Amino acid sequence: MAKSLNFRTTCAVAGFSLAALGSASAAEQIMFVSQGGAYQKAQTIAILDPSAKKLGITINQDSVPDAWPIMRSQVASGKPTWDVVDVATNFCLRGGEQGIVEKLDFSKIPNAAAMPAEYRSDYSVAYEFYSSVLGYNLKKFPDAASAPKSWADFWDVKKFPGRRSLRNHPLATLEAALMADGVAADKLYPLDVDRAFKKLEEVKPNITVWWTSGAQSAQLLNDGEVDMVMAWNGRISALAKEGAKVTYTYNQGILQSTSLCVLKGAPNLPTAIKFLNEAVDPVHQANLPLHIDYGPANPKAYDTKVISEARVKELPSAPENAKVQALMSYAWWTSPAGEAAEKRWLQFMQK
């Protein structure tokens, strides 16, 4: 059996194309879809290559920044070509509700079955974690004792003057607003949407930029256009490693995940399920943060000793970091209340 990884060119589907490598004639193969860039390169080295070798299969890859509309169109066509998709967890749940992804039998995915129940659903398995965190410029706040440490601090424009930036999206932003208003991280759901938007109205006049991409959030902080920002942990840590005077806190971070799901009618369903189990193997999971600043989704990865103690302290899903954060409820965000909150966000931004 071929054990190479094949990157298929799919200009009509992918955000960008990848050159074809090797042979596509393996007896067992799958088409795996992720988001490209450094992230997909890291998971190829840490998870996909080892899984392909161990299972004796070929893992073909495709890349697209926004997989959801293509997932829907492929299933609607009746002839999907994708098997496993790495996508924001809420899309897996939404796909389950709409008959776009397969319901999973966890008796066939023992590695996932052993993970915490809140890390999986009938239609998804958490694959990696990242956090929306409070980041700030060390030039503005050089003294750790007087630097912002919570969302209440971020909202306190008198005690912590400076230019601020939040994401132009309700996910995590509403959670931050509620924590700023005194709601405990483990008591957020169901979100009190009225209370969250009321709190956002307080800080809205002091938001310099509502960012729309991870790259933009990092650039704003790096260029000194803002002094503090809600951003994804990996974006700020990458700046710090390049020598930028920036840092962040995991305190009151919002722990978020991408998950793996299988398209309804996947052409290689049995092999896809075998891959799902292998993808969340503790050792493979432990390999991922050796190549990129994301945390493993399988907590047992931290028991493998593959990740150094120093590295563990940097990761969003590490036990000590996870316990000071809020775990996002994608089930709430895909509920009617969550969908209504997303629509309300558009109105909030248009005011």
pTM for the full predicted model: 0.88
pLDDT at 67: 96
pLDDT at 344: 98
Q: State whether CATH 3.40.190.10 applies to domain 5-129+256-326.
A: yes
Is 42's pLDDT higher than 90?
Answer: yes
Mean pLDDT, all residues of the chain:
92
Is 332's pLDDT higher than 60?
Answer: yes
Is 18's pLDDT higher than 60?
Answer: no
201-236 tens-digit pLDDT: 999 999 999 999 999 999 999 999 999 999 999 999
Is 293's pLDDT higher than 80?
Answer: yes
Helix (H, G, I), strand (E, B) or coil at 309: helix
Q: Which whole number is the average pLDDT over 46-53?
A: 98
pLDDT at 351: 85
Burial class of 346 by CB neighbour count within 10 A (0 to 12, 13 to 18, 19+): exposed
pLDDT at 16: 34
Contact 71, 77 (CB under 8 A): no
pLDDT at 117: 96
Structural domain spans, the chain: 5-129+256-326, 132-255+328-350
| Superfamily the domain 132-255+328-350 falls into | Periplasmic binding protein-like II (3.40.190.10)
pLDDT at 273: 98
Q: Do domains 5-129+256-326 and 132-255+328-350 have the same CATH topology?
A: yes
| Residue written as token pair 């450094």 | 38
Percentage of residues of the chain with pLDDT beyond 90: 90
92-135 tens-digit pLDDT: 999 999 999 999 999 999 999 999 999 999 999 999 999 999 99
Distance CA 151, CA 146 (A): 14
Q: Which whole number is the average pLDDT over 51-60?
A: 98
Distance CA 154, CA 11 (A): 43
